Amino acid sequence: MGEATTDDVRREIEATRDQLGGTIDAIGDRVIPGRVIERRKNQVSQGARSVVDRVMGTAHDARDAVSSAGGTVSDAPGAVLTQTQGAPLAAGIIAFAAGFLVAAAFPPSQSEKDVVADKLADKVEPIKAELKQTGQEVAEHLKEPAADAVESVKSAAQDAAQQVAGTAKDAAQQTSSDVQSAVQDVKSGG
């Protein structure tokens, strides 16, 4: 095997760099958001053009229709009308669908958002007032049961406190009498 000269190695390195640079540029081109959007728009417009051409026909089809009819340029409108009869309805549907797709693909503008917000605010205002009134009525209806519940809890707490105090008092008396008995037992026994 022959030895590669430094110039050969440098040329190989330079060629590899060029290839990698091209690859990196191609990758970057594929992931740049603006380019991705542009490619998507082009795909949609080409698809729409293709559908329109299939439904409506192209200028070439119209020329062929005129020439096959043996007519002249003055006969062209009638020939095109004959060839595309019934298609305008389909073309209208396709145009509507394409417009819908384009509208769905792009976010609404600030003025569109403002108009929608104004309309929504007008419709929400009566609902807001109704909800406020209902909330106030619910609060009024809940005041009495809440006060009753508080009173009930207070009463139960007082009863429990009295029971605990009574039990403690009884236990203290029992302990006191037990201590006195124990003291007397110790005195008498000892």
**Ordered DSSP codes for 129-163:** HHHHHHHHHHHHHHHHHHHHHHHHHHHHHHHHHHH
Percent of the chain with pLDDT over 90: 1
Handedness of CA 18, 24, 30, 35 (dihedral sign): negative
pLDDT for 89 equals 66
Between CA 111 and CA 114, with CA 113 as vertex, the angle to 5 degrees is 60
pLDDT for 115 equals 78
pLDDT for 187 equals 83
pLDDT for 69 equals 52
Instruction: Enumerate residue ranges in the chain where pLDDT < 70.
Output: 1-3, 55-91, 190
The candidate with the shortest Cα–Cα distance to 79, out of 63, 66, 93, is: 66
Q: How many whole angstroms from its chain centre is CA 139?
A: 35
Give the whole-angstrom CA distance, residue 62 versus residue 45: 22
Enter the tokens of residue 56: 């409506």
Write down the pTM of the prediction. Answer: 0.29
33-56 and 87-105 are packed helices; what angle lies between their axes, rounded to 10 degrees? Answer: 170
pLDDT for 1 equals 47
pLDDT for 62 equals 55
pLDDT for 94 equals 72
